[in-house]
Chain A
Amino acid sequence: MAAEGSPLEQFQIERLVPLHIGSVDVSYTNSALLMTIAVVLIGLLLIAGTSRGALVPGRLQSMAEMAYEFVSGMVDENIGHHGGREFFPLVFSIFMFVFFGNTLGLIPYSFTFTSHIIVTFALALFVFLLVTLVALWKHGIKFFTMFFPPGAPIFMAPILIPIEIVSYLSRPVSLSIRLFANMMAGHTMMAVFAGFTITLGIFGFFPIAINVALYALEVIVTALQAYVFTILTCLYLRDAVHLH
């Protein structure tokens, strides 16, 4: 699709191990490879970090504990200690997966799987379906009162209910677009500036300086977007557990 040397070339999916089940293409791609690396790294970090259980943590253990406490605090604060703890493993997995996906993408020549909307949309859709099912399971038919803001005059219902339903359905879309757009925009911008470096010759110093700054910004963005994705998951889960 993208031409050689284009800033979008980095998002190209490559089939590393072509696989077909029936007519469905389930090839093992570079995207899948990075996902595997992310999962393996997360597993290694947590297993190695918690295996010693020292009272004064070393580097690895400190990292594992910080990640755990960060997400744990987020869950307690946003979903509530009651009704929120059972979602902790899910929220933690989502955070680590997105965070590692974003961060591994910053390594030169690697691939950012969170820069593909199908990946982020699948994650967001999973969260959305889970939230809806949890809400239905916890509140039954009362769940549908969520689509009518309390205190609004009843004759507004024919307008308000469709609006609320569309707004509810737009959650996975905005959740996935936010992560995907941030990752893709940042990586494209860096590639564009890197391209200037070569064409400008001796003045290529300036794009390099900008890229250094951009790279620092991207490091913040990777962490921030993982955080935002996770916190919105928490907020949606809170809506599902407590309704309003």
Chain B
Amino acid sequence: MSEGGPSDPLARLGQRLDRARADENRGRSSGSAEPSPSGLGAGFRIGIELVASLVVGLALGWVFDHFLGTRPWGLIAFFFIGAAAGMMNAFRAAQRMGRGPRGG
């Protein structure tokens, strides 16, 4: 504790805290948005992403049909739109995961 710093003990404590925090943060990848999940977690998330869009697409199609009386065309069209959106979301989720600490 004989380093040349401010004589005020509070300021010294502050300096030490800052240094400890900097050390702690060095180990982490900064700026990455999401934690890199385990294999099971990753699979789970992509699966949910796929299904959720499909469900929303089907629900929208059903509602369209119900009010416009175009059964079954709305359901069919929105099934494909939902499937496409699900693929896109899964792809985006996978892209976000790739930006984890493993590089890329």
A interface residues (Cβ-Cβ under 8 A, vs B): 55, 77-78, 159, 162-164, 166-167, 169-170, 173-174, 177-178, 181-182, 224, 227-228, 231, 235
Contacts and interface: CB of A to CB of B under 8 A. Distances in A.
Contacts of B57: 166, 170
Given A78-B33, A163-B84, A170 B44 contact: no
Given A178-B45, A182-B44, A169 B60 contact: yes
Which residue among A55, A162, A163, A224 has the maximum number of chain B CB atoms within 10 Å of its CB? Answer: A163
B35 A174 contact: no
B81 interface: yes
Contacts of B49: 170, 174
Give chain B's interface secondary structure class: helix
A166 B56 contact: yes
A177 B44 CA distance: 11
Contacts of B10: 55
Given A227-B35, A231-B33, A231-B34, A166 B82 contact: yes
Given A224-B35, A227-B35, A231-B33, A167 B45 contact: no
Interface string B23-48: 00000001101110000010011001
The 6 closest A-B pairs by CB, nearest first: A174-B52, A167-B85, A166-B85, A170-B53, A173-B52, A170-B56
Interface string B49-85: 1011101110010000000000000000010011011
A222 B82 CA distance: 30
A181 B82 CA distance: 21
B86 to A, nearest CB: 8
A181 B48 contact: yes
B11 interface: no
Contacts of B34: 228, 231, 235
B78 A166 contact: yes
A169 B35 contact: no
21 contacts: A77-B33, A162-B78, A162-B81, A163-B88, A164-B85, A166-B53, A166-B60, A166-B78, A166-B81, A169-B60, A170-B49, A170-B82, A173-B52, A173-B53, A174-B48, A177-B51, A178-B45, A178-B48, A231-B34, A235-B33, A235-B34
Contacts of B81: 162-163, 166
A167 B48 contact: no
Contacts of A177: 48, 51-52
